[in-house]
Amino acid sequence: MLADYTINSIISINEVEKLFSGAPAYYKVKYDEHGPIDVSIDKIKRLGSLTSTGLNNRLDFFNDPIRDEYVVAELKDHEIMDKQYYIYEGLFTRGNIKETIQELEGEDAWNEVKDLSIQEIEKIYPESVKIAKQAAKAEVEGYKEGINVADAAVYISPNMTRDLLRMRGVWSPEIKKAFEILTNEDTADLWDSDPKLYAEANKVILNAMKYMAFGTRFNEIPGLGIPYFNKMALFPLFKSIATGDIKALYDRMTDPDKPVDMVLFDSAVKAGSRSPMKFYRVAKDSEIELRDGQTVLSAKVTDELINEEGNTLNDFNNLVTYT
C-alpha cells in the first residue's frame, strides 16, 4: 500500500508538471563523451520561469488589430576562440613560472631569472617551466573554444520591432517618427551620418528588449503538442545596421513573399527547437570574427570568397520556418 501511494504520488507530480512544462523529451539533455548523463537538468532549471508570473504583451488592438502569429526560424550559435587566447596563455605561463620557481627553488632563484625570456628560463629550470605551462593551459582553456558570440540572441525584423513596441505600450509619435527614419528608403542609409536623424533614430535602435516566451505549438504535427520556451535578447535589425554577412540574413527576413519575423540562435531556444541552420556553410570557428559588433568571416576567408574559394554563407532560402 505504501509503495502504491509513493508511485502514484510520483506519477501525479510528473503529470501535473507536464501541464505547465510539456513533455520532458523536448528539453535539452546533458551529455558527455559516453552519451546522456542527465535528462532532467534543463527541465528542472526552466520550471521556475515557466510557472512564475510576469508581464504579458497587450494583444487587444480593436481599432488597428495586430497579428497573433509570427514566422520564426533558428540558426546555430557561433562558438569561437578568443583572439587574445595566446596572449593570455603567455601571461598565465609567466605568472605560473614565477610561483613555481619561488615555491620549488626559492625567492633568490626567481630574482636571478626574472628578466629572462620563458625559453631561457626553461633551459635552467625545465621541470618548473613544464609544470607552469601545464597549469596555464588548463587556466586559459575556456578562452580556446566555446565562446558563444551569439548567446541567446534573436534578430527581429522591422515589422516585428514595430509590433512589439505597440504591444509593450511604448509606441508613440516620437517612436513612430524614429521608425519611419529607419525604414524609409530616403533616410535608411543616411540617419547615422546626420546628427538630427541619428538622435531621432536611436529611440528605436537603443531600445533593449529581453523576453521570455512559452506555450505549445499544435500546428506542426497533427495530434501532437510541442512545448516551446524561449529566453532571449531581441535585437532589431534595420537596413542600415545589417552590414557585412548579416545583410544576407536581413534580405531573407524582409523578403516580401516569405518574410521571417524572428531568427533565433539556438541557445535562446530552451525547449521546442526545430532545425537550426549554420550561418556559414563550412566555416571553422577560427575563421569567424566579431568585428565592430558584427559577426563576419575573417579577412583571409573573405579574400578566398572573392576568388571563389573557401567557405560561403549558407543559403537562407533553406531556413526552416514555423509559426
Q: Which residue stretches of 61-187 are H helix? A: 85-104, 107-113, 118-124, 126-139, 141-144, 158-168, 173-183
Q: Which three cell numbers stand for residue 114?
A: 626574472
At 206 the pLDDT is: 59
Q: How close are the terminal C-alpha atoms of the chain, in Å?
A: 48
pLDDT of residue 268: 86
Mean pLDDT by 10 residues, the chain (323 residues): 79 75 74 71 69 75 81 83 80 87 86 86 86 87 75 87 86 86 83 82 71 81 81 86 82 88 87 80 53 50 47 70 78
**pLDDT for res 308:** 47
Give the Cα separation of 235 and 250 in Å (integer): 12
> Given this model, what pLDDT does residue 296 score?
53
The candidate with the shortest Cα–Cα distance to 213, out of 267, 260, 157, 268, is 268
Instruction: Produce one character per residue of 126-148: b if its CB has 16 or more CB atoms within 10 Å, e if not.
Output: eebbebbbebbeebbeebeeebe
Query: Which DSSP helix (H) or strand (E) runs through 289?
Result: strand 288-291
Query: Nearest 5°: phi and psi at 123?
Result: -65, -30
Give me the pLDDT at residue 216, please: 82
**313 in helix, strand or coil?**
strand
Per-residue burial over 246-270, b = 16 or more CB atoms within 10 Å of its CB, e = otherwise: beebbebbbeeeebbbbbbbbbbbb
Whole-model pTM?
Answer: 0.69
CA distances from 129 to 91, 107, 142 (A): 13, 16, 21
Classify strands 224-236 and 153-156 as parallel, antiparallel or unpaired: parallel
> What are 121's strand-pairing partners?
none
pLDDT value for 309: 46
pLDDT of residue 177: 87
Q: What are phi and psi of 12, to 5 degrees?
A: -60, -45
**Grid cell listed for 271:** 525547449
